[in-house]
Amino acid sequence: MSDVLSPTEPSPVDASQHERAHTLIATESVSKYFPVHPSVLGTASRFIRAVDGVSLRVRYGETVAVVGESACGKSTLGRLLLRLIDPTLGRIVFEGTDITQTPERALLPVRRRMQVVFQDPTSSLNPRMPVGEIIGEAIRIHRLARSRIEERDRVARWLKSVGLRPEAAALYPHEMSGGQRQRVAIARALAVEPRFIVCDEPTASQDVSTQAQIINLLVELQETTGVAYLWISHDLSLVHHVSDRVAVMLLGRIVEQASADDLYDSPRHPYTKALLASVPQIVSGLPPPTFPITGAPPSPVVPPSGCAFHPRCPRAVRGVCDRDVPILEETPRGSGHRVACWISDEG
């Protein structure tokens, strides 16, 4: 286990007392490597660095969004935070406690305080259980009800909180629409009264009108419960609406991190600018922003040297960008805006 921390984010141990008091969950140089092409002896000759040295913190009650292209490591990072998978290196600290190596049997109290809403409710809900049992099972496991009657009351209350009638408890997932199923998934996550929820593309499988309903529901529930979100998405227009801070990932690393308004108003990494330039413009008469990208995304098995974006970056400097990996640094000091780029704008 590595004790080396990223210089861009203080650990909860080293951070100020104010910062520690407000941090709900944090990663410290966390990495996840998956083996590729194992040999006949069972050892891997190469690894995919799905997450590579990421330091990120989520404060109580805030929404931190993680954006980037497909296969950049967003969902893997979310699963690491939840300890659904174990990190290869680094640490995960939740409410001041290091949970990196906590045994599975001892994680049950932690599981109650951190939950997840997956992209596809059809695959995340048990098709053989009625909705009331799906939500009630979580309540039962964590012993939040003293009787079956109290359990049913809790189920009815959470169904109502997500806009469903109590009668929905008798339905099976296949008897509901996609939007209703996702509401059930949200109710199940909230039923154990968590502090932290990973929202992994929670609206990606819904139509546009249902997406808006689910987004508004999650925002309203955050206001009433105070839950914090890690919001994983590729939809940058959505992220600006729901998030307090945004982290941009590229090939397993965070290349830019800032408040949502700051990042959208003054992006500094060429990759972030390219992502924002791809967002459709809805105001007619204005030319779309241009930031050309050539070539294909790099292979995660054989990543490029230096900055992972340099083969596609129109501003890359040979001998600089292709040589060393840039460090995620705060510029200017105290701004909270961090960028990992050798030729980034100062903002």
What pLDDT is stored for residue 345 in this prediction?
A: 66
What pLDDT is stored for residue 346 in this prediction?
A: 58
Mean pLDDT rounded to a whole number for the chain: 87
Q: What's the one-letter identity of residue 251? A: L
Q: What percent of the chain has pLDDT over 70?
A: 87
Identify the band that residue 236 occupies on the pLDDT scale cut at 50, 70 and 90: confident
How many CA atoms lie within 13 Å of 103's alpha carbon, on the beta-carbon side? Answer: 2
The per-residue b/e assignment along 55-86, b for 16 or more CB within 10 angstroms, e otherwise, is: bbbbbebbbbbbbbeeebbbbbbbbbbbbeee
pLDDT higher than threshold 70 for residue 269: yes
**Using an 8 Å Cβ cutoff, are 134 and 158 in contact?**
no
What pLDDT is stored for residue 45 in this prediction?
A: 65
Which domains does the chain possess? 17-123+203-209+218-339 (3.40.50.300)
DSSP 88-149: SEEEEEETTEE-TT--GGG-HHHHHHEEEE-S-HHHHS-TTS-HHHHHHHHHHHTT--SSHH
What pLDDT is stored for residue 18 in this prediction?
A: 54
Query: What count of other Cβ atoms lies within 10 Å of the Cβ of residue 245?
Result: 21
**C-alpha 135: how far from its chain's center?**
23
Q: What is the mean pLDDT of residues 208-228?
A: 92
pLDDT higher than threshold 50 for residue 9: no
Higher per-residue confidence, 301 vs 34: 34
What pLDDT is stored for residue 14 in this prediction?
A: 47
Compute the distance between CA of residue 326 and CA of residue 347 in angstroms, rounded to an integer: 18
Identify the band that residue 292 occupies on the pLDDT scale cut at 50, 70 and 90: low
Identify the band that residue 328 occupies on the pLDDT scale cut at 50, 70 and 90: very high
Read off the pTM. Answer: 0.88
List residues bridging with 321 in a β-sheet: none
